[in-house]
Amino acid sequence: MARKTDIEGRAIEAAMALAEEQGWEKTSYADIAARAGLKIAELYPVFASKTAILAAFSRRIDEQVLAGTDPEDAEEPVRDRLLDVLMRRFEALRPQREAIAAIVKDLPRDPVTAACLARQATGSMRWMLRAAGLDDHGLKGMLRVRALAGVYALSLRVWLNDDSPDLGKTAASLDKNLSRLEGWTGGIGR
């Protein structure tokens, strides 16, 4: 029997490839298992659903972003730190852009998955705040998480169509939306 980490990686890779090829709605759990070269009985103990596979993919992206955090960046302005963290996230997502576009396209027809992924995205934004050196506890922390999730969602739409090598349109969108957030709230870091 394959190791858990091997199963996780194979399932995530299969799920993303199938989403890109045929869309998320048409991709079944059995399709993912078959594409990964796994029996359903091997996949089930690791991932009980397609949504669980997407959540694991998101956590892997979180880990990549967190690994790139430099403690020396703590001296930078808050907006610059947030911009850097979110751009690292978009860079990490770039190899799977077509799959993500297919998943986003199919989400309106799958409200359960959409709700689960919204919860996962909120958790990811909590980690992005932490990576930028911002507190995420209490009411203020909850507001920061939700505000950053909104900025991220707006910029994700731009990112899906940004084919520039440096993701310039995405960076501009993030900068503009973070600036707006500062205007509305007096600064996400305060």
What confidence tier does 188 reach under pLDDT thresholds 50, 70, 90? low
Residue of 153, 60, 140, 144 lying closest to 104 (CA atoms) = 153
Query: What's the pTM?
Result: 0.90
Rounded Cα distance between 123 and 146, Å, is: 10
Tokens of 120: 């996962």
User: Taking 80 as the threshold, does the pLDDT of residue 187 lie above it?
Assistant: no
User: In the structure, what pLDDT confidence band is assigned to residue 189 with cuts at 50, 70 and 90?
Assistant: low
Instruction: Find where tokens 């394959």 sit.
Output: 2
Q: How confident is the model at residue 75 (pLDDT cuts 50, 70, 90)?
A: confident
Give the pLDDT band (50/70/90) at residue 182: confident
Give the contacts of 89 (CB within 8 A, at least 6 positions apart).
61, 65, 124, 128, 152
Q: How far is 79 from 48, CA to CA, in rounded Å?
A: 38
Check whether 186 has a pLDDT greater than 80: no
SS3 for 149-164 is HHHHHHHHHHHCCCCC
Q: 46 falls in which pLDDT band (50, 70, 90)?
A: very high
Average pLDDT of the residues of the chain = 92
Q: What is the largest CA-CA distance in the chain?
A: 55
Mean pLDDT for 129-156 is 92
Helix, strand, coil percent content, the chain, rounded in steps of 5: 75, 0, 25
Q: Which residue has the higher pLDDT, 188 or 144?
A: 144
Place of tokens 């001296």: 75
Q: What is the pLDDT of residue 2?
A: 66
User: What's residue 111's pLDDT?
Assistant: 92
Higher pLDDT residue, 38 or 78? Answer: 38
